Amino acid sequence: MDCCKENPLGRLIYLTAQEMKNFAEKNLKPYKLTLEQLHLLKNMPDDSGMSQRQIGDLVNKTPANITRILDRLESKSLIIRKSDPADRRASLVFLTDKGKSIIKKVSVIFESLSTNFLHDISLEEQQIIKNAFSKISLNLQRMTAESEKQETV
């Protein structure tokens, strides 16, 4: 049973995602950042702090994963943790100036890359792709929820 013959669209989605990931990682290498770290940084507010729980909810990561990512970003001086004045047991995470600067530099690169890989695709075609991927994502979320319900039964 050849997966390519059985589901060529699924394979194309997978291969395209892999190519995009590899290309992005190659372009992040000079900044010593991973895609996971960049995703977290780009979702941080510029000046106000966020709790680790809020960050985890925002980027859909477990508390253990968030702690690991934040530890690495803190060691690179891209974020800083400060005590939460409202709750001494918690800390708030802030972008440092270095973190803000890296985000700006990397964002410019990725905007250019995005423009280039969408070069021959019309705005109408881009909208069709977005709509299709939104539906695929919703279907996968529904399937995951149904699967989790069956596991608890």
Any idea what the CATH number is for the domain that residue 115 is in?
1.10.10.10
Q: What's the number of domains the chain is made of?
A: 2
> Do 28 and 97 belong together in one domain?
yes
What pLDDT sits at residue 1?
45
Q: Same structural domain for residues 46 and 79? A: yes
C-alpha–C-alpha distance, residues 40 and 151, integer Å: 31
* Same domain, residue pair 152 and 96: no
One domain for residues 12 and 86? yes
Residue 96 DSSP symbol: -
Cα Rg of the chain (Å, integer): 19
127 and 65 fall within a common domain: no
Average pLDDT, the chain: 91
- Domain check: are 50 and 107 in the same one? yes
**Could you tell me the two tokens for 3?**
């997966």
Do both 129 and 86 map to the same domain? no
- Note the pTM of the prediction, 2 decimals: 0.76
Which of 73-77, 103-107, 116-120 has maximum average pLDDT? 73-77
Residue 31 and residue 10 share a domain: yes
Q: Are residues 115 and 127 in the same domain?
A: no
Decide if pLDDT at 136 tops 50: yes
Q: Are residues 29 and 93 in the same domain?
A: yes
Residue 71 lies in domain: 3-119
Cα 50 from chain centroid (whole Å): 17
- Strands 79-84 and 50-51 turn out to be unpaired
Rounded CA-CA distance 141/136 in Å is 9
